[in-house]
């Protein structure tokens, strides 16, 4: 049993904190409102660069998705069709999901980069945590990466495994920012 506990502790202590590299001395980004603002500003820049890598769909691509996905689901009474599922395996679908989601993350980080009252701040951190945990978003980011649409360098701030890293960050947000606020009320 002891080797298992040691392994778990080694693993947990080796996880970089939200947005920080292991080499960084500033791992307590959550301790003060000013530290959280500075941290959000840095991450805003990183996610803005990611957002800018994702192309915008053309009107013809949007229309194609509407026909293949939206209209076929509507025609089948709100159930998936083979055409809709096939449309979900395309570059256009990944862009349709990733672009607005990355924008929402960027927006929340922009809001967190400025002074807010505690309740507003926690609301934005909570929204950010929910956005970071979205598995479909990270699947679509990975798809765009595999297709060569996103440069891997734009994801460097997330490490080798962006989706799982973002989920760890979301857990840290909830544990270090949101829950302490709620516990104090």
pLDDT tens per residue across span 43-60: 999 999 999 999 999 999
pLDDT by residue (tens digit) across 77-120? Answer: 999 999 999 999 999 999 999 999 999 999 999 999 999 999 99
How much is the average pLDDT of 67-79? 96
Q: Decide: residue 71, CB within 10 A, 0-12 exposed, 13-18 middle, 19+ buried.
A: middle
Q: How many CA atoms lie within 13 A of 59 on its CB side?
A: 0
Token pair, residue 43, equals: 């991450």
> How many Cβ atoms sit within 10 Å of the Cβ of residue 86?
13
Rounded Cα–Cα distance for residues 36 and 114 (Å): 9
Average pLDDT of the chain, as a whole number:
88
Rounded Cα–Cα distance for residues 44 and 133 (Å): 17
Tokens 């922009």 locate to 110
Q: Supply the pLDDT for residue 1.
A: 45
Rounded Cα–Cα distance for residues 25 and 48 (Å): 24
Token pair, residue 155, equals: 């994801």
Domain boundary assignment for the chain: 32-55+96-183
């Amino acid at each position: 049993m002891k080797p298992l506990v040691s392994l778990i502790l080694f693993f947990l202590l080796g996880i970089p904190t939200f947005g920080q590299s292991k080499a960084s001395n500033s791992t307590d980004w959550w301790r003060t409102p000013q530290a959280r603002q500075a941290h959000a500003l840095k991450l805003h820049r990183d996610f803005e660069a990611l957002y800018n890598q994702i192309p915008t769909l053309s009107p013809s691509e949007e229309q194609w998705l509407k026909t293949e996905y939206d209209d076929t689901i509507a025609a089948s009474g709100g159930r998936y069709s083979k055409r809709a599922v096939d449309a979900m395996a395309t570059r256009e679908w990944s862009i349709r999901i990733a672009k607005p989601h990355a924008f929402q993350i960027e927006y929340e980080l922009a809001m967190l980069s400025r002074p807010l009252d505690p309740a507003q701040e926690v609301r934005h951190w909570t929204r950010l945590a929910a956005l970071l945990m979205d598995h479909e978003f990270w699947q679509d980011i990975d798809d765009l990466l595999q297709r060569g649409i996103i440069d891997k360098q734009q994801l460097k701030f997330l490490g080798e495994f962006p989706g799982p890293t973002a989920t760890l960050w979301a857990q840290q947000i909830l544990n270090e920012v949101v829950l302490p606020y709620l516990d104090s009320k």
